[in-house]
Structure 1
């Protein structure tokens, strides 16, 4: 992986996301609009469908990393999962997620916490399962040391997931092979979720990658 793969962008800054969720919180308060679903509703559906197919206990401990408006947790709660935590470093994102959970009647199943995954997040117990829908993408676009922060992300992920814990990542910045290079030392891929394809110049590819990883029993 070369340094050129880590291209800085405003999308990698907390200031950008603070602005986004300040606006979306205000819009929800005024109009009841939940805001944008990152990667669209299909991205949530494929994760929930995969989890349901595994017949995991509904008490499985699940953390949504960079939860945003919390809609993925809402869908999981509606499927019966009851041990859900969403974290985000934007306080307005957590306020928005909390309002949406209350509106959807799932507050009892969902906990929400303002926390920086690369900094202040220190859960008392490890999780069975971690979810990421765009957060690692944002980390990899951070203009202030994205390469090191990606390494830090993976170290934190190892620390907060149980051995053999599951990690499901949805990305539009990284291909399957690139994600395998990033996570392969600490995680092994167990499944690839179907995502929309596109064709260009006689070649077919995916605009979004969704992979299921399992944490190795030991992490470096």
Structure 2
């Protein structure tokens, strides 16, 4: 794994966005809003970002509609719902907030997508195998749209938390699996540095660029990664 003290992988200052209490409070309010007025709540990183990731999967020849897909940190479930609308049939969302799972189940059911599985689970648990049922299975596609960012903002030892996250992602993937990660905190180079010992870059989803201070860049970084040959070989031999 990437060295925890690697200077190319800085620790961010901790934030309430990295706490379970913040997300429980947020989704508690969104559950109330959904029950009162049918508002599904915020789509993390926005609808355009969600659609770009969905577009990539829909147009990927290596991904089929009956392949198992898991969304890490599924929130209100809208990523899974968007993929279900596009014909994907084996969708799972996992979130460590029970209120988020409650909301996602309600939203999916209201839109006629009760076949999507949502489960409460801890992605950075040290317990192996992970006791969460959906985290004991293998998936062709593992999605992350902001969850790694939130883990990076956790109070305390966020480096250790990120290493546990990496271990979970590896365990979830089939040998030919695809890992899609979208971030607003980490650059392309930083993400590749952290995942380099176990994943290689397969593709990049492009976003609109902005210019500030003479430097051009994107608001989001969205990478498609595949496991390295050595990791794949070990999985196939065990």
TM-score interval for Structure 1 and Structure 2 normalised by the shorter chain = over 0.9
1:1-220, aligned counterparts within 5 Å? 1-2=6-7, 4-55=10-61, 56-108=63-115, 110-119=116-125, 120-121=131-132, 123-219=135-231
Residues 14 and 179 of structure 1, relative CA distance in 2, 3 Å threshold: same
Supply the distance in 1 between the matched residues of 2:47 and 2:111 (Cα, whole angstroms).
16
Q: Assess if the C-alpha contact under 8 Å between 1:163 and 1:218 holds in 2.
A: no
Does the 8 Å CA contact 2:74/2:93 hold for their aligned counterparts? yes
Q: How many residues align?
A: 219
CA distance in 2, matches of 1:205, 1:39: 16
Work out the CA distance in 2 between the residues paired with 1:25 and 1:40.
19
Contact kept in structure 2, 1:164 and 1:216, CA below 8 Å? no
Distance 1:172 1:115 in 2: 23
Alpha-carbon RMSD across the aligned residues, in angstroms, is 1.5
Q: Secondary structure at the match of 1:5?
A: coil
Q: After superposition, give the CA deviation of every residue in 1:38-83 in whole Å (9 maximum; x if it has no partner).
A: 1100111111110111142211100000000000100000000000
* Residue segments in structure 2 that go unaligned for 5+ positions in a row: 1-5, 126-130
* Structure 1 gaps, min length 5: none
C-alpha distance in 2, partners of 1:88/1:34? 16
| Alpha-carbon distance between aligned partners in 1 of 2:48 and 2:191, rounded to the nearest angstrom | 21
SS of 1:204's partner is strand
Q: TM-score, normalised by structure 2?
A: 0.88
The Cα offsets for residues 63-113 of structure 1, whole Å up to 9 and x where unpaired, read as 0000000001000000000000000010110010001101111112x1010
Using the size of structure 1 for normalisation, the TM-score is 0.95
8 Å contact kept, 2:123–2:164: no
Separation (CA, whole Å) in 1 of partners of 2:152 and 2:206: 23
CA contact (8 A) 2:208 2:218 kept: yes
Q: Distance in 2 between matches of 1:16 and 1:58?
A: 34
Contact 2:200 2:225 in 1 (8 A): yes
